[in-house]
Chains A and B, each alone.
Chain A
Amino acid sequence: MRVKYVLSEVLVGLWRNVTMTIAMIITMAVSLTMLGASGLMYRQVDDMKDLYYKNIQVSIFLKTDVTEEQREQMNAKLNADPLVSEVIYVDKAEAYKRFQEMFQDAPDLISAVKEDSLPPSFRIKLNNPEQYKIIYDQYKDTEGVDEIIDQSRLLDKVFNILTAIQNIALAAAIVMAVAALLLVANTIQVAAYSKRREVAVMKLVGASNWFIQAPFVLEAVVAGLIGSLLALVALIAAKYLLFDGSLKALEGLLSPVSWGDLLFVFPLMAGVGGLISAATAWTTLRFYLRV
């Protein structure tokens, strides 16, 4: 009977002030969507870093007039270098072949480039991609070296952008969470006011504190959980529309968002939504009902 009483009070409470309840749920949902997106992004960036850094290469382009001797010396030095895990030599012919493959859609460009004009290069993989600077300093003045290009420099830019977006989403989540929090506090105050007579009688006859507070706290928790469900729906929609839709072209670049990832962020959103609502409601009641 007590459980039934509490549950029916929760439903009545949510319905009594339905516009406020909706406002509370929407703000909560937006905040949690941002939080979820940020969480997904965190995993994405991690996955992508793993994927890219594993395949990352430093390209040491040689001058087109490099001598056989210089090249051999270079090769020996690189192979002996403890920082380097793998060395591949790309000669002029190989470079041209790769060029042809890369620009097969632009035959004009291919015909404009002579087979002889592309520089040979060493493609090296580092044991630790972060140590690029050492390699750069070591080889930049070696005879026959034209230019050293580190792909991870480029990737860092991409990752910086992703991290920035992630931080923006997190900041938006926090701002919205504050708004949601204030709405929860307000809703609970209104609910407590409209039930002030019942609460006064309950306190008078000795109803336990949890029994007085439970309907209010659960009201907020239910709103928080509905908000997190809506946030999950929003993220699923985003997956369909963005990743499987307009961003499909970038599939090779972005690692796909799996259902597993979504299931991983849902408990996060539901937990945060539920706990924050409960804590806010409880704190509000401490001040408002003084139970």
Chain B
Amino acid sequence: MIQLEQVTKTYPKASRPSLDNVSVSIEKGEFVFFIGPSGSGKSTIIKMLLHEVAPNKGRVVVNGKDVTSMRSWKRPHFRRSIGCVFQDFRLLPNRTAYENVAFALEVIGKTKAVARRVVPEVLELVGLGGKEHRYPHELSGGEQQRVAVARAFVNRPLILLADEPTGNLDPDTSIEIMRLLDRINRTGTTVVMVTHDSNIVNQMRRRVVEIESGRIVRDQARGVYG
């Protein structure tokens, strides 16, 4: 599903590479944590999987497509198979929960009728049934992140990328979000999550890939934060 083959990435003006000869292979349906201190290169991996950053060396393959050689005009279509959640939610403040999720469908050409059918379903799935018409500022942080997860998942992507999704949430709320991601993973969606929340990693007991200074120092099938 996802392959990084000897990937090296050095940002311009940086003294050392963000990723240094990194190779990882992730199978369909896996749940993988990327952990490590700030600046270790975890987020660069997410950006590469989104075709936002290209490696200097090596190959990145996502969904059987070689992202390294992908032309930028193919990026929009490629991204439709990937859902994405961030620490800062990235919701549109002037749209309700329903509209935020529907927006993601409508801008890729789905009709309003499709949105009316699918959006309530996915909001129910993330546990926001009955709060469809609240605006982001009327929702708690955890609820906002649920809207973001609903938006990422509404298009039934093959891969869900989560960049520190619990970074802004308290421990209890974080665990609820993790349960949600776990449930999404059980539908067959590959989940890749970048975090430095040790609590969560230890509770989930999933595959852990630890990165330090751009190198993989650990890759464990049922790991803890360490």
Partner of A202, one of B93, B107, B155: B107
> In chain A, residues 193-223, which have Cβ atoms closer than 8 Å to a Cβ of chain B?
197-198, 200-209, 211-212
| CB of A291 to closest CB in B, whole Å | 9
CB of A112 closer than 8 Å to a CB of B: no
CB of B225 closer than 8 Å to a CB of A: no
CB of B118 closer than 8 Å to a CB of A: no
- Whether A206 touches B109, Cβ cut-off 8 Å, given contacts A197-B90, A197-B92, is no
- Whether A198 touches B108, Cβ cut-off 8 Å, given contacts A205-B79, A205-B151, A205-B155, is no
Q: Looking at chain A's contact residues, is the secondary structure mostly helix, strand, loop, or mixed? A: helix
CB of B111 closer than 8 Å to a CB of A: yes
Give the distance in Å from the alpha carbon of A272 to the alpha carbon of B103 in the complex: 35
**Residues of B close to A2: CB separation below 8 A:** 106, 109
- Whether A209 touches B155, Cβ cut-off 8 Å, given contacts A2-B109, A204-B90, is no
CB of B112 closer than 8 Å to a CB of A: yes
| CB of B212 to closest CB in A, whole Å | 28
> In chain B, residues 70-122, which have Cβ atoms closer than 8 Å to a Cβ of chain A?
73, 75-80, 82, 84, 90, 92-93, 103-104, 106-109, 111-112
Give the distance in Å from the alpha carbon of A151 to the alpha carbon of B112 in the complex: 74
Give the distance in Å from the alpha carbon of A209 to the alpha carbon of B109 in the complex: 12
User: Is A206 a contact partner of B90 (Cβ separation < 8 A)?
Assistant: no
**Residues of A close to B80: CB separation below 8 A:** 205-206
Give the distance in Å from the alpha carbon of A197 to the alpha carbon of B108 in the complex: 16
> In chain B, residues 50-81, which have Cβ atoms closer than 8 Å to a Cβ of chain A?
50, 73, 75-80
User: Is A201 a contact partner of B112 (Cβ separation < 8 A)?
Assistant: no
CB of A106 closer than 8 Å to a CB of B: no
Give the total number of A-B pairs whose CB atoms are below 8 A apart: 52
Give the distance in Å from the alpha carbon of A204 to the alpha carbon of B148 in the complex: 12
Which chain A residue has the least Cβ–Cβ distance from B73? A209
Partner of A206, one of B78, B92, B151: B78
CB of A259 closer than 8 Å to a CB of B: no
| CB of A98 to closest CB in B, whole Å | 76
User: Is A211 a contact partner of B90 (Cβ separation < 8 A)?
Assistant: no
Give the distance in Å from the alpha carbon of A197 to the alpha carbon of B107 in the complex: 14
Residue interface mask A46-59, B partner, CB < 8 A = 1: 00000000000000
User: Is A5 a contact partner of B106 (Cβ separation < 8 A)?
Assistant: yes
> In chain A, residues 80-107, which have Cβ atoms closer than 8 Å to a Cβ of chain B?
none
User: Is B112 a contact partner of A1 (Cβ separation < 8 A)?
Assistant: yes
- Whether A201 touches B79, Cβ cut-off 8 Å, given contacts A1-B111, A209-B73, is no
Partner of A1, one of B50, B82, B104, B106: B106
| CB of B39 to closest CB in A, whole Å | 23
- Whether A206 touches B79, Cβ cut-off 8 Å, given contacts A197-B90, A197-B92, A201-B104, is yes
User: Is A204 a contact partner of B84 (Cβ separation < 8 A)?
Assistant: yes
Which chain B residue has the least Cβ–Cβ distance from A4? B112
Give the distance in Å from the alpha carbon of A259 to the alpha carbon of B77 in the complex: 50
Partner of B76, one of A198, A201, A206: A206
| 12 A-B pairs with C-beta separation under 8 A | A1-B111, A1-B112, A198-B92, A200-B90, A201-B92, A203-B76, A204-B84, A206-B76, A206-B108, A208-B77, A208-B108, A209-B76
Q: Which 8 A-B pairs have the closest CB atoms?
A: A206-B79, A207-B107, A206-B80, A205-B104, A206-B76, A208-B76, A202-B107, A1-B112
